[in-house]
Amino acid sequence: MQPLDRYLSNLAKLLPADQREDILRELSEDIRSEIEDKESELGRPLTEAEQLEVIRRRGNPLQVAAAYTPNQGTLAFGPQLIGPVLFPFYVRVLTFNLGLTFLIVGVIFAALSLAGQPIHFRDLFSSVILQLFLQLAAVTFIFALVEKHLSRQPHDWSKMDFQTSFQAAIKSQIERKIQSGPKEISRFDSIAVLVASSVALLWLQSLWANQYLLFGPAAALISLAPIWHVVYLPAVFIMLVTIVRAAINIARPDWIRFRDVVSVLLDAASLAIVYTLMFAHTWVVPAVSASEHIASAVNHWAPIAIFASAIIALAQTIHDLIRLYKNWRWHSAPPAPSR
Amino acid sequence: MYNTVYDVHHMTHSQSNPDLFQNLCLELRRGSLILAVLACLRSEQYGYTLRKALADRGLDIEEGTLYPLLRRLETQGLLLSEWREAEKRNKRFYRLSPLGQEMLEKLLAEWKAIDASLAEIVKG
């Protein structure tokens, strides 16, 4: 890809969608005209470095795009801390960080509550306020530093350079992994997965026959709701496939892509099960009429546990997807030169 | 002597506080740029030649300022534009609209009045 195309492609991502094509055509035409002008002045084509200089002089794509974007706000306490260029990114990062932090705080408090710990509103409130303050201070401080750098040296920051160095770093990491990374799945890992899945499958089957394993003495008062009948067979199927997959990888530890693809498919199936459970509304039913209040209390708190399971399942899926992508890249990359 | 004192004072401040000087210059130029762009577009031009025409007359304007300004003036109905082939490439040509022509005349009159007042004020 030529430097100009790279620059325009970076810029395109930041421009308002309804004007993107028009702005890019015009800027591209302007840059080409300038390059041609310089070439006719010098009587020779510009080198790539000279072309890069023409493009760099235009400023970083963030600032160029900001000129076309309606002002979405700034942050100022006296002097301006975060200008209109960075402000939308600042809001996005802050929202994401705060969302994630509050989710974690919520899960922790829910877990404490489920474990029988008394939870006071003031504890929850002070935790939320503390996190809010810390995140706000940290994110604002980092963005204010970037803003200061950008305003002092507006042409010194190049997303292209950043991207190039970032890609080079990733490439060298991939090459290092190709040279030194595992070429086979550890048989120990496969055996561990096989054993753990077999135990889990046996436990699930026993649980179905004897709910005391799950509820303890409370099994006399509550039992599993019909939704578990819906998800039982798919759950057994997932475990069986996991066992088969691990067994195959014991025999063929070099089938890395097989392991990665099957894992992602199983993750998707697990997510579907958790999704089904999330919208069930009733997870346990009273075994006797006197235990309705117990079933109601469990049903009240069960969504938190299911939500936590959903987060874990999602994190596992993301992990396996990244692994699939990385391994795909390693295997698709040309072999490293021998030394 | 007044000029010397003014220059020294001006240099000291602009060197010690370049950000302030830059900001004041930007404010001073902002309104003038619109006038210059409108005046240049009495004859049809595309962005690059317009930028060169302004630079040749001592008014450098960055692309990041010019093109969004052209868009804004077009949205306000002061400019008309069309994509047309020239020198084997498609270029966007801008020209003054009838409303732009009318506004330009009014703005020029206003600018001349401000210029005259300023000259009087600076003269003391």
Model confidence band, residue B98 (pLDDT cutoffs 50, 70, 90):
very high
| % of chain B surpassing 90 pLDDT | 60
Q: Taking the alpha carbons of B46, A28, A69, B17 in that order, is the dihedral positive or negative? A: negative
Report the C-alpha dihedral over residues A112, A114, A118, A124, rounded to 10 degrees.
Answer: 50
Let me know: does A285 contact A292? Beta carbons within 8 Å: no
| CA–CA dist B13, B18 (Å, integer) | 8
| % of chain A surpassing 70 pLDDT | 78
Model confidence band, residue B82 (pLDDT cutoffs 50, 70, 90):
very high
Average pLDDT, integer, range A175-190: 60
More confident residue, A179 or A124: A124
User: What pLDDT is stored for residue B4 in this prediction?
Assistant: 44
User: What pLDDT is stored for residue A156 in this prediction?
Assistant: 45
Residue B46 β-bridge partners:
B93
- Residue B58 near chain A (CB below 8 Å): no
Contacts of residue B112, defined as CB under 8 A and 6 or more positions apart, other chains included, come to none
- Residue A288 near chain B (CB below 8 Å): no
Contact B92 A68 (CB under 8 A): no
Helices (H), A210-291: 212-215, 227-251, 256-278
Let me know: does B54 contact B60? Beta carbons within 8 Å: yes
pLDDT in tens, A17-30: 888 888 999 999 99
Cβ-based contacts of B91 with chain A (< 8 Å): 29
More confident residue, A285 or A183: A285
Model confidence band, residue B112 (pLDDT cutoffs 50, 70, 90):
very high
Residue B85 β-bridge partners:
B90
Average pLDDT along chain A: 77
Residue A164 β-bridge partners:
none
Of the ranges A64-68, A333-337, B99-103, which one carries the lowest mean pLDDT score?
A333-337
Residue B2 β-bridge partners:
none
DSSP code per residue over B2-58? HHHHHHHHHHHHHHH-HHHHHHHHHHHHHHHHHHHHHHHTTS-EEHHHHHHHHHHTT
More confident residue, A61 or A170: A61
Average pLDDT, integer, range A29-43: 90
DSSP code per residue over A18-82? TTHHHHHHHHHHHHHHHHHHHHHHHTSPPPHHHHHHHHHTT--HHHHHHHHSPP---EESSSEEE
| CA–CA dist A316, A271 (Å, integer) | 10
Nearest to B91 among A23, A29, A68 (CB): A29
User: What pLDDT is stored for residue B1 in this prediction?
Assistant: 42
Of the ranges A146-160, A176-190, A283-297, B36-50, which one carries the lowest mean pLDDT score?
A146-160
What six digits make up the tokens of A255? 């089938």
| CA–CA dist A5, A336 (Å, integer) | 29
Q: Which helix (H) or strand (E) holds A224?
A: strand A222-224
How far does B102 lie from chain A, in Å, by closest CA? Answer: 26
Nearest chain A alpha carbon to B90: A29
Distances (CA, A) of A336 to A81, A170, A177, A303, A330: 47, 15, 10, 50, 10
Contact B67 A26 (CB under 8 A): yes
Contact A25 B63 (CB under 8 A): no
How far does A81 lie from chain B, in Å, by closest CA? Answer: 15
Residue A222 CB-half CA count within 13 A: 20
User: What pLDDT is stored for residue A172 in this prediction?
Assistant: 59
Instruction: Name residue B82's amino acid.
Output: E
| CA–CA dist A34, B47 (Å, integer) | 11
User: What pLDDT is stored for residue A73 in this prediction?
Assistant: 62
Question: Which value does ipTM take for this structure?
Answer: 0.76
More confident residue, B83 or A216: B83
Model confidence band, residue A155 (pLDDT cutoffs 50, 70, 90):
very low
pTM of the model: 0.48
Contacts of residue A213, defined as CB under 8 A and 6 or more positions apart, other chains included, come to A203, A206, A207
Which of A85, A78, A71 is CA-nearest to residue A154?
A: A85
Contact B48 A30 (CB under 8 A): yes
Model confidence band, residue A98 (pLDDT cutoffs 50, 70, 90):
confident
pLDDT in tens, A40-81: 999 998 888 888 888 888 887 877 887 887 666 666 665 667
What six digits make up the tokens of B47? 């962005």
Average pLDDT, integer, range A298-306: 81
Average pLDDT, integer, range A199-219: 73
- Residue B93 near chain A (CB below 8 Å): no
